[in-house]
């Protein structure tokens, strides 16, 4: 039973959060710059004071208990608040003047990063980015667990505890094998997808779901190609080889069309597309700087690509 007079220490909460993120005592201790015995003692003292077991210990890995999973977001919020408090006291509360872990989905990262990285180096010289590319659900999990600070994904995120900042909208373009009769067309109705073998990305990619949504909204049942791809670049290569057609976002067109003999066609208006935005934990207390970051990212991508900024 929890002693209601017990007050957790910051050291105990830091130990819990580090172990939860690393799933390993040695790695957690290294990340905090303390010995493994010191970390273990701090965590044990926290569990004892709370009267709750937070982690299950084994010889190889550490797993969160049900109680641990429930309490982790609150512990992370406390640590973030303490970090922000300390930074403010030191006069450096701006997260855009330090290290940031930025997640990007695979259908954004290869096409947006060149402009974003070069531009941020000029616009925010005090910011050091660590880039993490992964699928949407894994990025959102990493965000909730504190392993990622913010992420560029397709909106909506449809998850609690996360703030979304819409940045830009982009159209989907129909990618076709070389010489296809639709190549160069500007007003292809989405209903044409019922007549074409649609090549999709693997499960877990949001672009796969978005392509199927386009078909559903057009009221057609897509004829799915027998081939699936793990990346957009692979999908484009398969299309070039005549294995089907696929949808690619506008920001990917210049890169993918340049290195292949890809045929392209535009959909009729209103053109199907997607909205890309920045997401971050609502508990982080960093709404203003992240909105500033989102605005800069939007300006950089807009200057480099044909996208419509969300105002």
**What are 224-234's pLDDT values in tens digits?**
777 778 889 88
Report pTM.
0.70
Largest CA distance in the chain: 75
Q: Which residue in this structure is represented by tokens 């290290």?
A: 99
Are 113 and 104 contacting, i.e. CB atoms less than 8 angstroms apart?
A: yes
Task: Give the tokens for residue 216.
Answer: 């559903």
Residue 228 pLDDT:
76
Helices (H), 156-286: 206-217, 232-240, 250-258
**Taking the CA of residue 34 as centre, how many other CA atoms within 13 Å lie in the half-sphere pointing to its CB?**
18
Closest CA to 67 of 54, 51, 56, 50: 54
Weakly modelled stretches of the chain, pLDDT under 50: 91
Q: What separation in angstroms does the CA of 240 have from each of 179, 194, 257, 298?
A: 10, 20, 10, 31
| Each residue's pLDDT tens digit, 173-226 | 999 999 999 999 999 998 888 888 888 888 778 888 888 888 888 787 766 777
Residue 54 pLDDT:
94
Closest CA to 260 of 238, 245, 231, 244: 238
| Cα 29 from Cα 18, distance rounded (Å) | 8
Q: What is the chain's alpha carbon radius of gyration, rounded to the nearest angstrom?
A: 23
Domains in the chain (CATH in brackets) are 10-90 (1.10.10.10), 94-310 (3.40.190.290)
| Each residue's pLDDT tens digit, 269-282 | 888 999 999 999 98
Task: Give the tokens for residue 100.
Answer: 């940031």
Residue 162 pLDDT:
93
């Amino acid at each position: 039973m929890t002693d209601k007079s017990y007050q957790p220490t910051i050291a105990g909460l830091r130990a819990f959060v580090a172990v939860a993120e690393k799933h390993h005592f040695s790695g957690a201790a290294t990340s905090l710059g303390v010995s493994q015995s010191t970390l273990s003692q701090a965590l044990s003292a926290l569990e004892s004071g709370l009267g709750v077991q937070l982690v299950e210990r084994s010889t190889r890995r550490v797993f969160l208990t049900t109680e641990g999973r429930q309490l982790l977001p609150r512990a992370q919020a406390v640590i973030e608040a303490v970090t922000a408090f300390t930074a403010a006291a030191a006069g450096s509360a701006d997260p855009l003047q330090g290290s940031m872990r930025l997640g990007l989905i695979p259908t954004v990262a290869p096409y947006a990063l060149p402009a974003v990285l070069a531009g941020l180096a000029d616009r925010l010289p005090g910011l050091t980015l660590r880039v993490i590319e992964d699928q949407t659900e894994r990025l959102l999990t990493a965000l909730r667990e504190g392993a990622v600070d913010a992420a560029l994904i397709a909106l909506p995120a449809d998850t609690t505890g996360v703030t979304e900042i819409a940045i830009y909208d982009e159209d989907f373009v129909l990618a076709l094998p070389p010489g296809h009769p639709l190549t160069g067309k500007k007003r292809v109705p989405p209903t044409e997808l019922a007549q074409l073998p649609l090549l999709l990305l693997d499960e877990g990619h949001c672009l796969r779901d978005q392509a199927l949504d386009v078909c559903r909204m057009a009221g057609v049942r897509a004829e799915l190609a027998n081939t699936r791809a793990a990346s957009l670049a692979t999908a484009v290569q398969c299309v070039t080889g005549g294995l089907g057609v696929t949808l690619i976002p506008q920001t990917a067109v210049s890169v993918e069309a340049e290195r292949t003999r890809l045929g392209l066609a535009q959909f009729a208006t209103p053109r199907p597309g997607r909205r890309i935005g920045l997401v971050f934990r609502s508990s982080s207390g960093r709404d203003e700087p992240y909105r500033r970051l989102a605005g800069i990212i939007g300006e950089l991508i807009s200057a480099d690509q044909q996208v419509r900024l969300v105002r």
